[in-house]
Amino acid sequence: MRKTDAPSAPAAPAAPAIQVIERMFSLIDVLASREDAVSLKEISEKTGLHPSTAHRILNDLALGRFVDRPEAGSYRLGMRLLELGNLVKTRLSVRDAALLPMRDLHRQIQQPVNLSVRQSDEIIYIERAYSERSGMQVVRAIGGRAPLHLTSVGKLFLAMEEPSRLRAYATRTGLSGNTRNSITQLPVLEKELARVRQQETARDNEELELGVRCMAAGIYDDQRKLVAGLSISAPADRLDEAWLPRLQATAAEISRYLGFRGQ
């Protein structure tokens, strides 16, 4: 009989092939962990580098404006990193960031996964991962719109509003409903949004379309601003609470790609 190969061990995280680059990364990580300038002594202790080695690399980084020296013996991140960061930011697209994680989540749950953004008093669907096997009879097309208060993602955005702006939204829209489950009274909506803020997720309980329920989690950018929402749609009797942690993890992954740092 032919012998089967033993399972290979998990690959170790890749490390830079050039030692000085690895040291440079460690120095930048230390500076990034602090808002104020860091002394050479502390940098040396945290990186394990000899002070003379750290000093030499930091001075070279300062020449390229990747590091600043506000005073002798202390360092902080430089303006060149901000310039490059802004350049990267302008090239980021929430749709591009979300596409692969959305598809992966859809493969796990076999239900439609939707990406939506706010536009005025509505949310607009900008991407979707779904298949015919999902069993969904009603699937909103990309580019479709819906009132904020009738959708799970829309509630995420409304939950961020000041009370006066929420009242203004209710006045403008009249909180019109689509189904018998739609929230059409401001006190009821306020109570629902308080729950959204507490749980950091939102639901649509057949409020937009009968027979369809949704759950949503927010996507945030590097300024901690809610820029989009990720939602799962399913037949009302098949929405599984076990999907929620996966949804939250996927939304967090997309947020990290956009530069979000936080809980």
End of a domain among 66, 88, 110?
A: 88
Question: What is the model's pLDDT at position 144?
Answer: 85
DSSP labels, 101-117: HHHHHHHHH-S-EEEEE
Phi then psi for 116, rounded to 5 degrees?
Answer: -135, 150
Query: Same domain for 28 and 124?
Result: no
CB 103 within 8 Å of CB 129: yes
Lowest-confidence range among 57-61, 153-157, 204-208, 228-232?
Answer: 57-61
The answer to whether position 13 is within a domain reads no
CB 199 within 8 Å of CB 217: no
End of a domain among 39, 61, 88?
A: 88
Query: Same domain for 111 and 209?
Result: yes
| Both structure tokens of 2 | 């032919």
Range of the domain at 155: 92-257
The answer to whether position 48 is within a domain reads yes
C-alpha 100 chain-centroid distance: 13
Average pLDDT of the residues in 179-184: 94
The answer to whether position 12 is within a domain reads no
Residue 23: which CATH number?
Answer: 1.10.10.10
The per-residue pLDDT for range 41-54, each reduced to its tens digit, is 999 999 999 999 99
Query: Same domain for 77 and 116?
Result: no
Judge whether residue 175 has pLDDT over 90.
yes
End of a domain among 88, 120, 138?
A: 88
Please state the pTM of the whole predicted model: 0.66
The answer to whether position 64 is within a domain reads yes
SS3 label, residue 140: coil
Judge whether residue 71 has pLDDT over 90.
no
Lowest-confidence range among 8-17, 103-112, 183-192?
Answer: 8-17
Query: Same domain for 71 and 181?
Result: no
Specify the residue for token string 């945290």. Answer: 46
Query: Same domain for 157 and 75?
Result: no
Query: Same domain for 146 and 174?
Result: yes
Domain total for the chain?
A: 2
CB 92 within 8 Å of CB 258: yes
The answer to whether position 168 is within a domain reads yes
Chain-wide mean pLDDT for the chain? 86
Query: Same domain for 153 and 61?
Result: no
Pairing relation of β-strands 201-205 and 145-147?
unpaired
Query: Same domain for 162 and 204?
Result: yes
The answer to whether position 36 is within a domain reads yes
Output helix, strand, coil percentages for the chain, rounded to the nearest 5.
45, 20, 35
pLDDT band with cut points at 50, 70 and 90 for residue 113 = very high
Query: Same domain for 217 and 101?
Result: yes
Residue 117: which CATH number?
Answer: 3.30.450.40
Query: Same domain for 73 and 23?
Result: yes
Query: Same domain for 188 and 221?
Result: yes
Query: Same domain for 116 and 69?
Result: no
